Structure 1
Amino acid sequence: MSEKRAKELENALRSAGVRLTRQRAALLRVIAASDDHPDAAELHARAEAVGAGVSLATVYRTLTTLQAQGVIEKLEFQGEPARWEAADQKHHDHMIDIDTGAVMEFTNERIERLQAEIAAEMGYEIVHHRLELYVRRRRRD
């Protein structure tokens, strides 16, 4: 799956008129293999670990281009560096652990129904939404 995803990312860069260098190709494979919500520095470190030889500036430019092409989404969580995820994922919401920075995806039909009901009561329908819950583990007494 990540090879197919890497090809989609390559095609998006080419469509934007960006030359596909060896370094960018390696970065795209790293992005495609990511199943978490990495920030640019994490992606840079992962690319360096596989010998990509890509600069942090190139990572940022590539991410911005991929976002403009609509293949990745930028997630800006309060107090955290921007994180990235594939744009073609099924709808989900996020919980962010404020102590560890961990980002967890979740879906909940009750929440989805309640949001739709509230919007309908106010005369609207939901076109798009994003829910972020900032959480902390409960302390056990």
Structure 2
Amino acid sequence: MKKYKESLKTILDRLHLSIKKNNLKNSKQREFILKALYDDGGHLSPEDIFAIIRKTCTNASISSIYRILSFLEKEGFINSIEVDKSGKRYEIASGLHHDHIICVECGNIEEFCNNEIERLQVEVTNSYNAKPVGHDMLLYVVCEKCLKKVAN
């Protein structure tokens, strides 16, 4: 699912403002990481990102990738999800709400949005006289493809 509210150019323009606001040096690595996540449209691990950007940015290191991902997440450019014990996966913070269904066998991640689930969540928070401000739903499954492998 590759639906973004902003173009890559707009995201990079915001990045440059953020770099200036934080008194940081300009670094092409930040741009390469955002571009890799934007172009992929999926959920990449730091190692996936490193493999992609190392082709164009030979001075990249895995430690710099982790540092930059932390900065980009803190500044709201990307979101992370904990898939399993292997660590976080990252995606562009698109502003479009969605939830995730994750296969515990192959690690595949699918995005979905279900209006009924959204409605029920509001209903539950209202029953507690609370105001919903956000949520993350991660459904862990064995996907159809992995179930077929087991059956064979």
| TM-score, structure 2 normalization | 0.79
- Contact in 2 for aligned 1:30/1:43 (Cα 8 Å): yes
Matched, 1:72 2:78: yes
- Contact in 1 for aligned 2:37/2:43 (Cα 8 Å): no
Give the 3-state SS of the residue equivalent to 1:64 in structure 2.
helix
- Contact in 2 for aligned 1:93/1:106 (Cα 8 Å): yes
- Identity among equivalent positions (%) equals 26
Change (3 A) 1:31 1:13: farther
1:63 is aligned, of 53, 69, 72, to 69
Matched, 1:17 2:23: yes
Query: Could you say what the CA RMSD is over the residues aligned between the two structures, in angstroms?
Result: 2.1
What's the offset of the Cα at 1:90? Answer: 0.8
Trace 1:1-141 onto structure 2 (pairs within 5 A): 1-49=7-55, 51-53=56-58, 54-138=60-144, 139=147
What's the offset of the Cα at 1:128? Answer: 1.0
Amino acid in structure 2 at the alignment position of 1:45: A
What's the offset of the Cα at 1:17? Answer: 2.4
- Contact in 2 for aligned 1:6/1:32 (Cα 8 Å): no
Give the 3-state SS of the residue equivalent to 1:82 in structure 2.
strand
Cα distance in structure 1, aligned partners of 2:33 and 2:140: 30
Give the 3-state SS of the residue equivalent to 1:104 in structure 2.
strand
How many matched pairs?
140
Q: Which residues of structure 2 form unaligned runs of 5+?
A: 1-6
- Contact in 1 for aligned 2:101/2:139 (Cα 8 Å): yes
Q: Which has the higher contact order (CA 8 A, sep 6+)?
A: 2
